[in-house]
Amino acid sequence: MREDKAILRLQTIPGLTPLGTTKPDGFLCRNARPVFNFNNRNATATARNFASLSMAERRQQLRDFAPSPAHLLNHPLASLACVPRDVAIFAAGAVAGAVAKTATAPLDRVKLLMQTHGVRAGKESAKKSIGLIEAIVLIGKDEGIKGYWKGNLPQVIRVIPYSAVQLFAYETYKKLFKGKDGELSVLGRLAAGACAGMTSTFITYPLDVLRLRLAVEPGYLKMSEVALTMLREEGFASFYYGLGPSLISIAPYIAVNFCIFDLVKRALPEKYRQTTQASLLTAVASAAAATMTCYPLDTVRRQMQMRGTPYRSVMEAIPGIIERDGVGGLYRGFVPNALKNLPNNSIRLTIFDIVKRLIAASEKELQQIVEQKEKQEANVEQSSSS
């Protein structure tokens, strides 16, 4: 009868500080029990009749393992697990944001035209507002079909880093705002969303101002022309006109949006939580609540971004808009904005959810490859020792 043999596998684990040990005789005995003797004076440890096996956590194991082309051919989804998680989320967010912004660009252009009509028209005609149908007809008449996508390029350029920074910052802030019990409260989610919104807005704000100027001011064909004119005539500070109300408006919007989305998703039964339909409906509901709550501040910041704006603060702009256009002036362009935000938000958050599920599934497939490889190695070792 073949005697069973113990196998000791030594593997370096990055970041692990080794503990000084001595190895007495009989270290690899069968049916051994661990016995430790600690000496407090020199902080050393001795082990007798004991074999120790160390395991790195699974994610480190997956990160160090490189599957072969044959493995990936049999498990194609596992290739996604080879891509860093942050890179996969960044790419998905960037593509989703660009597609969503391009698809809803005409409604965004109409909304901007309705929001800023009073400031652009001058004081005498500033009391006159422009309606949805009138704005649609005006753009088509003056600029043609391409006019509906005017200013979309800087918006697409802006949304790539904006989405990446916002999603990454939200995940980071959620860790920071967790309580002592490791759970994230509703207030913690709101705070994480607000901080994420302000962080992404501050970083990409100049591109947002350029997009607005290109969309509503006549005579500009390129984003570079707008940027050079602003630098020459208004100085560098013009790229941050309206930053205060922008931060104030985006903070509650992202806070309400992300918080409602997370909470509603968690409240759903498990069998519905992982479906695309649930993500879409949840995203629409969260976007609707956030848009209704925060839209007046968006109107204020847009009018403060305009050249020659009479407003220098939020407290000055709100009563000024109400005096000129009534309370409804704060919601000017709300309908096209809501029509734009609902699909825009639902596309972005739904794709983000889908990507997270794909990443989880890819890691499971990669783990299957790792387990198969370990089983093969164990069989080889067993046959070689027999």
In this predicted structure, what is the pLDDT of residue 29?
42
pLDDT of 97 strictly over 60: yes
In this predicted structure, what is the pLDDT of residue 53?
44
pLDDT digits (tens, 9 = 90+) for 137-174: 888 888 888 888 887 887 787 788 888 788 788 888 99
In this predicted structure, what is the pLDDT of residue 10?
55
Model confidence, pTM: 0.59
In this predicted structure, what is the pLDDT of residue 51?
44
Least confident of 86-90, 106-110, 186-190, 322-326: 86-90
pLDDT of 272 strictly over 70: yes
Q: Which two tokens stand for residue 285?
A: 């509901």
Tally of CB atoms within 10 A around 252: 17
- Which residue would you say has higher pLDDT here, 238 or 76? 238
pLDDT of 115 strictly over 50: yes
pLDDT of 190 strictly over 90: yes
pLDDT digits (tens, 9 = 90+) for 26-35: 444 444 444 4
Instruction: Band the pLDDT of 54: cuts 50, 70, 90.
Output: very low
In this predicted structure, what is the pLDDT of residue 13?
54
pLDDT digits (tens, 9 = 90+) for 339-354: 777 878 877 887 777 8
Residue ranges of domains in the chain: 1-54, 78-363
pLDDT of 203 strictly over 70: yes
Q: Identify the CA nearest to 347 among candidates 81, 94, 80, 88.
A: 94
pLDDT digits (tens, 9 = 90+) for 284-337: 888 888 888 888 888 887 888 777 778 878 788 888 888 888 888 888 888 877
Domain 78-363: which CATH number of 1.10.150.650, 3.30.300.30, 3.30.428.10, 1.50.40.10: 1.50.40.10
Average pLDDT over residues 83-93: 76
In this predicted structure, what is the pLDDT of residue 320?
87
Instruction: Band the pLDDT of 12: cuts 50, 70, 90.
Output: low
